[in-house]
Structures are given as structure tokens and as C-alpha cells.
Structure 1
Amino acid sequence: MKKQFLTLLIALVLSTFTFAQSGFNIGGSIGFPYENYEGYDFSFAFSVDANYLFEVNQAFDIGLATGYGQAFGDSYYIGPIIGSFDTPDYQYVPVAAAARINVNRRLVFGADIGYAISVTSAKDYLNNKYYDGGFYWRPMVGFNLNERLQLNFNYIGISDNYFYYSAFNLGFMVNL
């Protein structure tokens, strides 16, 4: 009985490593910020993503996701008395759980949900407070071009008590 249990345990560990080798993905996206916190306008955004997914079955994968994102602040003219206002850039590092549903060989739905750690040191002029991290969510729809490449459309939302950031993104993902 002891040998059978040990054999089963070794087989499970080796099969876990087999799944792990095919679950690493890296990618990037360009974004178009939309309806951010009052007084903050961002002109353009980009993000670099990495996730590690484990195959639960043919249609469902779960894992962890992280990356780096940056939104470039916009400058706009308010008037002759106030002058111009510069929105500082916003940088963040998401730490999230990831889930993907494979509808068929080509179409994938998914979401990343977690926390975005702010690495920005710019002050929030309205509340005299630094940008904080916040709740992070990223729903996505992907289209697999082949076994290794995927095009996707995703939305990024980050919110805390004082700040809200959102962007629509167009990206790609490479399965390693």
C-alpha cells in the first residue's frame, strides 16, 4: 500500500510539472484611457502582462497574473488665471488571480481580479494624497491565431477611495 501511494504521489507531482511547462504567457497591450477620476486625464497607456495558468480541463484554466502598466498624463489649458494643469503619469503593478474559459480552439474569455500596487510618486492635487493602489479587474476576450499567439481586447479598471482609472486595450499574448 505504501509503494502504491508513493507511486501515485510521484505521478501527480510529475503531471503537475508537465502542465506547468505549457502555462506561462507573456504579452503587451496599448490602451486608451476612459472616464478616469475627475480632474485627471490620461492620453495613452500601455501594459506588459505575464501569467501562469494551470489547466483544470480543456475548457478552463486558472492561475496567477502580474505585469506593469503605465498611463501617460495629459496636459490641458484651464484658463488665463489658472494656466495649465498637468496630470502626472500613473504606474502600477497588478497582482491578480487569472481565469480563462476556452469556448473553442479560437475564442477565449477571461478575467484577472486582484490588487494593483501603485508605483507612482506623484501627488493627487485635489486631495493632497499620493496615488494608492486599488482593486484591479481586467476582463478580456481573446482570439487565438495559432497555438502560440493570441490577439485580445481587454478592459482595465483600478479603483480605491480617491482614485479611479480605466482603459480599453488592444493587445497580444505569446504562449511559451
Structure 2
Amino acid sequence: MKKLVLVFAMFVGLSTFAQEVKVKDITSKNSWLKLGLNAGVPMGDADDFASFALGLDVKGQFLVTPNFGIGLATGYSHLFGKDGADDFGIIPAAGFARYYFQKTGLFIGADLGYGFLMNVENNEGGLYVNPQIGYHNEDWNIFAFYQNTFAENDFDIRVLGIGATYNLRF
């Protein structure tokens, strides 16, 4: 329950900020859609049931300042089962924040929200956290990540991986 309260508080904070942004403020210089792919290796509890993870990232970002962006994130991470275990997946519904040190170069950020589990019995999901560090330019983001879904019944799904997204300007 505490996790759901945290996720709710995050969305209230993002929606409060979003009300302050006027449509005329959104331009191709400060807002874009990020589409990408990621791959990783399962760790922790997930390592017992999965051998590899592939995913799709979809994010909408607004730059609050030239160095700080916020937005919404979703996508799908597919974990391939091993030793007879079924494949399963995660669909995140998250907000995110990123800090860009310069116009081109290093960035850090994190997604925070809820991860909905697919094809997992007796477990709908849980708190989703995805910290990232990487390199960016005007068109691309290349990053390392450590995705963690704190799912119900003390089942944590962790993936360590790399990803890339392409920026589509509005």
C-alpha cells in the first residue's frame, strides 16, 4: 500500500506541474517523443526464471530548463523464460526526470511508477524504479539502466542492461 501511495504522490506532483505548462510553451526545442529499444540480463529473483530481457521504451519529455527534463514513460520489457519457465513481461506506467549536464554529453535520470506484470500468476505488479546513466545528443540517448519492479509476494524483478532511444520532435 505504501508503494501505491508513493506512485500516486508522484503522479499528483507531475500533473500539478503539467497544469502550469501552456500548450504554446511546448515546441520542438523543448519537447519530444523518445522511442527506443533495450536489452538486459535478469538479476535477483528474476534470474531464477528468465535468461534474457528485451524491451521497448516510449517516453514523452518536456524540458523544464535546458538541463532538466520531466515526462511520462511506458513500454514493454519481455523476459524470456528458462528451464521450462514461461516468458513474462512488465508494462511500466511511470513518470521520469532527467538531468543533462551539457547540451551534448552525460545525463542521469530515473523512471518511477508502477510496473504491471504480464503472464505471472498471483502477482499484478508493484513499484517500478529504473535509474539510468548515459550519453545524449539532439537525436539519440544511449544509456545503461538498472530496472527494478518491487512486485507483490516479495518477488523483485531486476534487469541490468543497455538501451537507446531516438528523439522525435513535436
TM-score (norm 1): 0.76
Unaligned runs of at least 5 residues, structure 1: 1-11, 76-85, 124-129
d(CA) in 2 for partners of 1:160, 1:96: 15
Q: Is this contact kept in 2: 1:115–1:133, CA < 8 A?
A: yes
d(CA) in 1 for partners of 2:91, 2:132: 18
Q: Is this contact kept in 1: 2:151–2:157, CA < 8 A?
A: no
Unaligned runs of at least 5 residues, structure 2: 1-21
1:31 aligns with 2:46: no
d(CA) in 2 for partners of 1:159, 1:150: 26
Structure with greater proportional helix content: 2
The answer for the alignment partner of 1:7 in structure 2 is none
Q: CA deviation at 1:20?
A: 8.3
Of residues 149, 166, 169, the one that matches 2:161 is 169
AA at the equivalent of 1:117: F
Deviation beyond 4 Å, 4+ runs, structure 1:
none
Q: Deviations over 1:66-125 (max 9, x none)?
A: 0011111110xxxxxxxxxx22211121000010000122111000000011221x43xx
In the TM superposition, 1:1-176 aligns within 5 A as 12-16=22-26, 18=27, 22-36=31-45, 40-75=48-83, 86-104=84-102, 105-120=104-119, 122-123=120-121, 130-144=122-136, 146-162=137-153, 163-176=155-168
Q: Is this contact kept in 2: 1:70–1:89, CA < 8 A?
A: yes
d(CA) in 2 for partners of 1:21, 1:54: 6
d(CA) in 2 for partners of 1:149, 1:111: 17
d(CA) in 1 for partners of 2:160, 2:78: 13
The percentage of counterpart residues that share the same residue type is 31
